[in-house]
A = this chain, B = another copy of it.
Amino acid sequence: MEEAQLLDGRLVAEEIHKETREAVQRLRRKGILPCVVFIRVGNHPPSELYVRMKQKKAQEVGIQSEVIALPEDVTQQEVLESLDRLNQDPSIHGILVQLPLPKHLSEKKIALAIDPRKDIDGFHPLNLGKMLLGEKDCFYPCTPLGIQELLKRYQIETEGKEVVILGRSNIVGKPLAALFLQKSKYANATVTVVHSLSQNIKEHCQKADILVAALGKAHFVTKDFVKPKAVVVDVGVSRIADPSSPQGFKIAGDVDFAEIKKIASWITPNPGGVGPMTIAMLLANTVKAAELSLGHPF
């Protein structure tokens, strides 16, 4: 039996980065220099790493970027004041606050305080509401958007297909359901969302033409969950103990890749699948924000 083909997120992300770079150059010729500001709070090594990765990619595509590192004990009021200043600065097109935040800060209030026109993460409820309504003049969250884009680049049709989404998080499961339910190409799917309180999780997964695992439980999805020739997208990122690694752990996805690649038609590697797509969509959203600043209504 043939093995599944790879939904190669790294490769596709590079393609998108190339297009983003071209769009940046077009904007520069019109006198717009796309600019993104990353805010991170306190000392949280993974956040530092993520911001560094995003900034590096921004630089590669010609987007100007700035990192504002706020101290661990910054007050809510101080964060809101920083955001207000950035909201009002017309030279800044995108604002991203790296999560998670220290416990004394309200992620909800901070998401609301970002100007929706600069909300390149797509976490502002105004953007999520517009997404649910099927509108386009807004920002969609980068991971759901990256998953849709990955399928699109491999021309994997979703219309009328059974899409099963494992997990109902605010950043993946729920917005992805909203996206696949839209009346548009690479949407129009029949969507089922299953989660930790669902019964018959396995039976639902077995019906999926397209299965998206976004639970964050290492290797939860085993071979018996997957219909032959299904498309499998692995969003999960967990740490599992690995005495042979210098850090003592390794990163694992939600999907048992080695076994499932033997029966699926398409599968994302993880890492190298959804992760790179997320960053690619973040920078594409930044360019969209810069284009919208040229005066498109929003």
A188 to B193, CA, bound (A): 11
A188 to B196, CA, bound (A): 9
Cβ of A198 < 8 Å from any Cβ of B? yes
Tell whether, in the assembled complex, residue A190 and residue B181 are in contact, meaning their CB atoms are under 8 Å apart: no
Cβ of A40 < 8 Å from any Cβ of B? no
Residues 116-160 of A contacting B (Cβ, < 8 Å): 124-135, 138, 159-160
A129 to B130, CA, bound (A): 7
**Closest Cβ neighbor of A124 among chain B residues:** B129
Tell whether, in the assembled complex, residue B195 and residue A192 are in contact, meaning their CB atoms are under 8 Å apart: no
CB distance from A196 to the nearest CB of B (A): 9
Contact indicator per residue, chain A 193-204, by CB within 8 Å of chain B (1) or not (0): 111011110001
A126 to B33, CA, bound (A): 30
A133 to B129, CA, bound (A): 10
Tell whether, in the assembled complex, residue B190 and residue A198 are in contact, meaning their CB atoms are under 8 Å apart: yes
Chain A contact residue count (CB 8 A cutoff): 38
Provide the residues of chain B in CB contact with A194, threshold 8 Å.
190
Provide the residues of chain B in CB contact with A174, threshold 8 Å.
132-133, 178, 181
Provide the residues of chain B in CB contact with A124, threshold 8 Å.
129
Provide the residues of chain B in CB contact with A200, threshold 8 Å.
162, 190
Provide the residues of chain B in CB contact with A135, threshold 8 Å.
108, 125
A200 to B161, CA, bound (A): 10
Cβ of A177 < 8 Å from any Cβ of B? yes
**Closest Cβ neighbor of A183 among chain B residues:** B168
Cβ of A191 < 8 Å from any Cβ of B? yes
**Closest Cβ neighbor of A204 among chain B residues:** B190
Give the residue among A124, A135, A177 with the most B Cβ atoms within 10 A: A177
A190 to B193, CA, bound (A): 6
A159 to B199, CA, bound (A): 9
Q: A197-B159, A199-B160 are in contact. Are A132 and B192 (CB under 8 A)?
A: no
Could you give 5 example pairs across A and B, Cβ below 8 Å?
A: A125-B125, A126-B126, A128-B133, A133-B170, A160-B198
Contacts from A to B (Cβ < 8 Å) = 108, 124-135, 138, 159-162, 168, 170, 174-175, 177-178, 181, 183, 188, 190-195, 197-200, 204
Known: A129-B132, A190-B198, A192-B193. 18 other contacts (CB 8 A): A125-B132, A126-B129, A128-B132, A129-B129, A132-B170, A132-B174, A132-B175, A133-B170, A159-B197, A160-B199, A161-B199, A181-B193, A188-B197, A190-B193, A190-B194, A190-B197, A191-B192, A192-B192
Which 6 pairs of residues, A with B, have the shortest CB-CB distance?
A: A125-B129, A129-B129, A128-B129, A192-B192, A190-B198, A125-B130
